[in-house]
Structures are given as C-alpha cells and as structure tokens.
Chain A
C-alpha cells in the first residue's frame, strides 16, 4: 500500500498536466463568467427552474469529463513508453517494485485518480462560476445554489467514474499494451491494427470488428443509463413542472446484467495481464 502511494505520487511528478489541464479549463470558464454576458432570465423557459441547475452542473461535468478522457488516453499511451524512451526504466527497475505494481499504479491513475482530480476541478469551477454569476446578476438564485442538486451530481460523477472504468477497461488495456510494446509511434500503433481490421472487413464485406468496436466506443450510455423514448415518456413528464433527480437516469442493474460489460471486463483484464508480461521483458528502447 505504501509503495502504491509513492507510485501515484511519482505519476503526479511526471505528469504535471494531470492538474494543470483541469486548472486551465477551470480558469478559462471562470474568466468567461467574469467577463461574459450574464442573463439569468433564460432560466425559466421550458424546464422547471431546479432542472436548469442540474443541467448546469451536468453540463460542467460532461465538459470536464470529455477533456479528461482525451487526457487519460494520452496518459495511457505515454505511461509505459516514456521511461523506456529516456532509459529511466533502468532506474525504476533497480528498485524493489514489481512490474505488476507499476502497471496497476498507472491503470489506477488513469481510471480513478485522474477522473477524481477532474471531478474536483469541475466542482470547484462550478462553485466559483455560480458565485461569479450570482454576484454579477445580484441574485443568489436557488437554481444555482441547491444543495440537493449538488449532492446528486457528486453521486452521478462517482457512478460515471466507476462504470466508465469498467466499460472502457479493454480500451485502456489496449493503450497500455501498445505503450509497453511499441518502440516508436505509439499513437500510430494504437490506431493501426483496428484500422487494418476495418479495411479487411470492408474488403470481405463483414462487420464483426466494426460492430464490436462501435458498441464499445458508443454503447456506454445505452448500457449504464435509462433513456429510450418509452422510458422518458413514462418517467420524465414531471420534469416540466418540478425538479427531477439525475439519479433517475442511472441504471446500475442494467449495467451489471450487461453481457457486453462482462466480456469487455474479461478482455480488459487479459490485456492488463499481457501488459505486465511485456513490461517484465521490455526495457529501454
């Protein structure tokens, strides 16, 4: 456990962008709130007022989450490649740290620590922006300052972090595998095999890889959340008149009972195991 805490600290030393990027995104948004146009009158158009507050927080979460996923992917491609390129792997391997610990610490970083840092940044930014907007509008509207909404969005964040970590584990595993293997051009090697398979499928007029990859990349929301038209009609009619909790949308039972999720989890675990084996055998480039 002590070793893991040092390994995570190490990642923060090496990848300073882990906190720099969310800080910059937050600063830009707060800057916009300070000098942009503030008009709270739009808040009572179609949906009930409380739901505007939820939409504000969820929108913020989505924005930070999207930036985070790009950054985490980049991190995964770099994390087992950088030290082989600058030969510092020879220093890290001279310490009593197993390759399993190294790989798992970096996976933990990408799938839990980095998302949590971005979540924290989203919260701080949301609070500061709400404060700036309220001061400039000269009204602390309950739309933006509703403890219940805030709490609901925090739980949503944690649900997103846990479920995306599981759902995208095969993607993360693949990025790490290439990061541990490639001698150069990690990004190219990451994209080349799926692209080659896609071309072969074009040629043979099959679409297995296309379907599997498509479902993995685009299918997360359908598995982890409610949201088909029928469900919305049945459950969301009161959204026009009163507050609706975001918890309504999350679908843990559907997620846990998804066969796709379990298959992906197994493939992801296999890729991480492969990454550890590669890490044992590969040293500097």
Chain B
C-alpha cells in the first residue's frame, strides 16, 4: 500500500529563512501520527505544504497528489482543522452545515447534525455568539462528517478546557478513526496525545529529527534511572541525554543493549514527552 504522505527533500524558504530544510518523512494509511516540534521548528510550514496552502521545493505527494497544484481535488479526500476558532463570526451554524453539504461531495449531513444534537448549540446561532469551545465543536462536527482519508489537525484543542480536550480526543479515536483513515496531529500538549498516537515525527529547525512508530521507539530507546554510585559506569555507555531528578540521574540511550543497561538501575521506555526533550536538547540538562 503506498504511503498517504510521502515527502522527499521538502524545503520551504521565506526569503533567507529556511523553515523546512530537506525534510524526509512518510506516513502510512491507518496511522495516527503526531508531528511534534518546538515553536518555529517548521511544523506549520510542513502542514501548509501538505494541505496545498503554500508552494515548496522538493517532492511531496499526499494521497497520490501534488498538494499545491491539486489542492481542490485533494480537499475532496482530505480535511483539516488549522488551529481553532477560524469559523467566520457572521456565519450561522445551519448555514455552515448547508454550505459544506452543498460543496463537499463526501459530507454526510446526518452525521454533522447528529454530532451537534448532542451539544447545546442551536442552529440559528452565529459563530460570534458561541464560546471558543462551542465553535470548536461546530468545526469538529463539520469535519468529522466528511468521509476523508486524511485528517490533519493543527493544535486542535488550543484554548479548550481539559474536559473539552478530553472529549475531543475520545471522540476522535472512538467515533472517527478506523483502519482506512489517517490522522496527522500537531500539538504542544504531547502528554495528551501520547497514548493515542501510533507514530511520532520530531521536527527541529526545519529538519526531521525522528520518524518512528511508537513500537519501534520502545526498541530503539531506553532510559535508565541510575544512582550516584553507578553513574560513571553508565556514562561510559554513551547516553545521548542526561537529566537529574531528586538526586538520581536518568540517562537516555539510543539503540540500547537492555541486558547491559539493566545492571545500572531501573530500565524503562521513555515517554514521548521525555524523548522529545531528550532528542531536542542533547547533552546534560
């Protein structure tokens, strides 16, 4: 099965600034992928390129199409929520549904209406009268009612309270996701999406730092909590990152030899958030 997104040497320049620097990655169908990076790392540029919102250099194929040239055709099969609260203030909820139903061949009106029926949002309300959380629910109802092969979410829960965020991700996994779909998410709240992701891509300074499934992460990376007595011996195994907590040190290893490392202390698979910090900081924190 060909990849849903395939990028070779994807580069985006804004004048002298290089936002994406020969980025290579590939995303397969049925995955929930987290694109994770610090501010200014090139996340948004990558998403813009994938969604056909910007021109770029290098090769990029999304659902077998060239996004910038074929955005219209691509949007019949892919959908996105770029940030929250971008629905225009003058639009009414029922107008939004009518419009999307009118222009989108894969929109299932009954699903959008059903989704909204579970909320407190009346159809005659204008977006400007809705709270941020309600607006997000409307946008989600519209987007989730589209039978899309690829869903791209850019900071989808920004500005939502914890209840709404939890409800959003539960809905995503339970009601929306199936093996024919692919979801690409960027977020700062790594902990929140960690247990629903199947794959992670780390991006820093426009380059891909890590592109791996979470299963492989468990094999490729290990962290060991080491007491002061064994720290020098552990350091000799060349950890790529080290961090100190409560008098102990946590050492991070790439391509570890579990048998050897277990001798230094308690061995565990690093969380995505920890791995992110470890990969992007480098050296001792």
Contact = CB atoms under 8 A, between A and B. Distances in A.
Interface in A70-119: 82-83, 86-91, 93-99, 101
Contacts of B92: 13
B82 to A, nearest CB: 4
Contacts of B91: 13-14, 88
A95 B83 CA distance: 16
A98 B72 contact: yes
B103 A97 contact: yes
Interface residues of A, number: 30
B207 interface: no
Contacts of B82: 90, 94
A135 B21 CA distance: 78
Given A94-B80, A283-B53, A14 B102 contact: no
Interface in A257-285: 280-281, 283-284
A3 B79 CA distance: 18
A140 interface: no
A90 B90 CA distance: 15
A275 B104 CA distance: 24
Given A13-B95, A90-B83, A95 B48 contact: no
Contact of A94 (B73, B75, B98, B105): B75
A273 B55 CA distance: 17
Contacts of B275: none
B102 A6 contact: yes
Interface of A: 2-3, 5-7, 9-10, 13-14, 16, 82-83, 86-91, 93-99, 101, 280-281, 283-284
Q: Which 5 A-B pairs have the closest CB atoms?
A: A88-B88, A6-B102, A98-B72, A96-B76, A96-B75
23 contacts: A13-B90, A13-B91, A13-B95, A82-B88, A86-B88, A86-B89, A87-B83, A88-B88, A90-B53, A90-B82, A90-B86, A91-B86, A91-B87, A91-B139, A93-B75, A94-B81, A96-B75, A96-B76, A96-B103, A96-B104, A96-B105, A97-B72, A97-B75
